């Protein structure tokens, strides 16, 4: 039985599979299942039963998200499926692998999702810089259309679907689903107020589902092999497999499809080969730049959404960033603050004005110009830009590494103040 449903076809030493090769490897079976009489309600039930949670960072149950879309004869005729392929979370490199390695898997998943909510048009919102993904997806969409998996009356189901590949022009905030919808409509990518939620009023005011690439890539397996198989994959609490990655000063950085429930230690020490010679693990961000630092004492935690949550951080994108003992934690957080400050969309005041202030304090710390009270200003920002204080999750995300760094690396912040420079030397 398949144990790596997301990456089984991926071999980056060759081009991705063509539609024929993909079908030969068991691809598009789920669409045939649908054509054999699986109704949208039945697909929705399978996805709900599978326990699939969104892989974009928030971990919201996918079936529940879909269930808010109006269905039936009175529902709006136009609905949209949008795939969030705007991967830009610092330290996150998982969706690229899926799109460049096996683009037909994403297309198959999109057909399932669009069929379930009865959307006849789907957009892939792809990061403009992902030129290789663009090539792979364009080619795969063409092939899928030719093979009859896209277009009108797909496999005689009466269901139509077109996929448009939209390439963006670079802004992190586009990963926020309502900002993404504004960007797709040709507007500045400021987030929208919720409610109404996109499921009811999304793209051009129509019911819209926005799902992450990896989330969508889970669907073909669930529909082809069933809920029982899907739930047998995990070693822990959450169901299915997940792409986990490690970057930083480890021996073999990379991204691997692994079952939920394996320990952080296994990923860092076995898959990533442990720390490079001469470096020790100081701390790590478990799921990209918007997560709280965890420490070596957390290595035996299992990778499940709730387990990481209980330790005070988030599983988020599942791509870990390693802080070693030779790298300045203040510099690392300063780098993140610069990113978030630059990528604030400017819509709400705390984020627009708060993040550049934080960024400037980190520059001052680095240059020995910071004042003792500045650390209190940083603490204040962690509170003022925290969850519920801003229009969207960007600033609270930025405060996660900052707040945890102030707690765990107090002596390093103090050393920057007392020595009036970075004690780790220049970077």
Write out the residues near other proteins by the rule CB under 8 A: 78, 87-93, 95-96, 127-132, 164, 166-172, 183-189, 204, 245-249, 253-255, 289, 319, 321-324, 327, 331-332, 335-336, 338-339, 342-343, 345, 426-427
CA distances 137 to 148, 149, 208, 274, 286, Å, are: 16, 14, 21, 34, 29
Question: Nearer Cβ to other proteins, position 28 or 284?
Answer: 284
Closest to other proteins by CB, 163 vs 222, is: 163
CB atoms within 10 A of CB 302: 18
Backbone phi and psi for residue 392, each to the nearest 5 degrees, phi listed first: -135, -170
Task: Supply the minimum distance, in Å, between the C-beta of residue 191 and other proteins.
Answer: 13
Asked if residue 158 lies in contact with residue 119, where contact means CB atoms within 8 angstroms, the answer is no
Min. distance of Cβ 331 from other proteins in angstroms? 8
User: If DSSP codes are grouped into helix, strand and coil, which group holds residue 317?
Assistant: coil
User: Which of 344, 341, 347 lies closest to 362, judged by CA?
Assistant: 341
In whole angstroms, the minimum distance from the beta carbon of 86 to other proteins comes to 10
Residue 50 or 344 having the CB closest to other proteins: 344
Give 52 or 122: the residue with its C-beta nearer to other proteins. Answer: 122
Dihedral Cα 226, 227, 230, 232, nearest 10 deg: -110
Of 30 and 133, the one with the shorter C-beta distance to other proteins is: 133
> Which CB, 39 or 169, lies closer to other proteins?
169
Instruction: Give the Cα separation of 316 and 288 in Å (integer).
Output: 7
Smallest distance from other proteins to CB 112, Å? 22
Taking the complex as a whole, the smallest distance from the CB of residue 120 to other proteins amounts, in Å, to 12
- Quick one: which H or E segment has residue 31? helix 29-35
Q: With CA atoms as reference, report the closest residue to 28 among 17, 16, 40, 19.
A: 19
User: Which residue's structure tokens are 């586009």?
Assistant: 174
Closer to other proteins at the Cβ: 70 or 254? 254
User: 196: cis peptide before it, omega within 30°?
Assistant: yes
CB of 424 to other proteins, least distance (A): 12
C-beta of 264: minimal distance to other proteins in Å? Answer: 17
Nearest to other proteins of 373, 426 (CB atom): 426
Number of Cβ within a 10 Å radius of residue 9: 18
Rounded Cα distance between 268 and 364, Å, is 33
Distance of closest approach, residue 327 Cβ to other proteins, in angstroms: 5
Q: Provide the sign of the torsion angle of the four alpha carbons 127, 132, 134, 136, taken in this order.
A: negative
Tokens of 25: 């490897």
Q: How far apart are CA 286 and CA 302, in angstroms?
A: 11
């Amino acid at each position: 039985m398949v144990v790596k449903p997301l990456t089984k076809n991926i071999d980056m030493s060759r081009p991705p599979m063509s539609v024929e090769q993909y079908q030969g490897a068991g691809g598009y079976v789920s669409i045939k299942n649908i054509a054999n009489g699986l109704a949208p309600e039945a697909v929705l039930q399978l996805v709900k039963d599978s326990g699939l949670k969104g892989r974009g960072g928030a971990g919201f149950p996918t079936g529940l998200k879909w269930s808010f879309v109006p269905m039936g004869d009175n529902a709006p005729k136009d609905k949209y499926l949008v795939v969030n392929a705007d991967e830009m979370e610092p330290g996150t490199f998982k969706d690229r692998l899926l799109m460049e390695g096996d683009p037909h898997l994403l297309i198959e998943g999109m057909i399932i999702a669009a069929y379930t909510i009865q959307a006849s048009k789907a957009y892939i919102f792809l990061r403009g810089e992902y030129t290789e993904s663009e090539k792979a997806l364009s080619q795969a969409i063409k092939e899928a259309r030719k093979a009859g998996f896209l277009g009108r009356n797909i496999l005689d189901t009466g269901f139509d679907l077109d996929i448009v590949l939209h390439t963006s022009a670079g802004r992190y905030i586009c990963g926020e689903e309502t900002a993404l919808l504004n960007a797709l409509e040709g507007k500045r990518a400021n987030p929208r107020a919720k409610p109404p939620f996109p499921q009811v009023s999304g793209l051009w005011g129509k019911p819209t589902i926005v799902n992450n690439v990896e989330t969508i890539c889970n669907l073909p397996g669930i529909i082809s092999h069933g809920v029982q198989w899907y739930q047998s994959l995990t070693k822990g609490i959450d169901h299915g497999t997940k792409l986990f990655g490690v970057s930083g000063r480890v021996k073999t950085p990379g991204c691997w499809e692994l079952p939920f429930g394996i320990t952080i230690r296994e990923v860092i020490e076995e898959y990533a080969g442990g720390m490079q010679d001469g470096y020790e693990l100081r701390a790590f961000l478990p799921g990209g730049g918007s997560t709280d630092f965890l420490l070596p004492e957390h290595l035996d935690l299992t990778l499940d959404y709730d387990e990481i949550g209980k330790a005070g951080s988030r599983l988020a994108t599942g791509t870990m960033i390693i802080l070693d003992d030779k790298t300045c934690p203040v510099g690392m957080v300063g780098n993140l603050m610069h990113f978030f400050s630059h990528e604030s969309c400017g819509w709400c005041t705390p984020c627009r004005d708060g993040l550049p202030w934080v960024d400037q304090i980190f520059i001052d710390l680095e240059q020995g110009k910071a004042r003792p009270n500045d650390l209190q200003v940083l603490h204040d920002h962690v509170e003022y830009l925290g969850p519920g204080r801003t229009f969207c999750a960007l600033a609270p995300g930025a405060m996660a590494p900052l707040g945890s760094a102030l707690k765990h690396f107090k002596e390093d912040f103090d050393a920057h103040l007392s020595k009036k420079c970075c004690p780790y030397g220049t970077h």
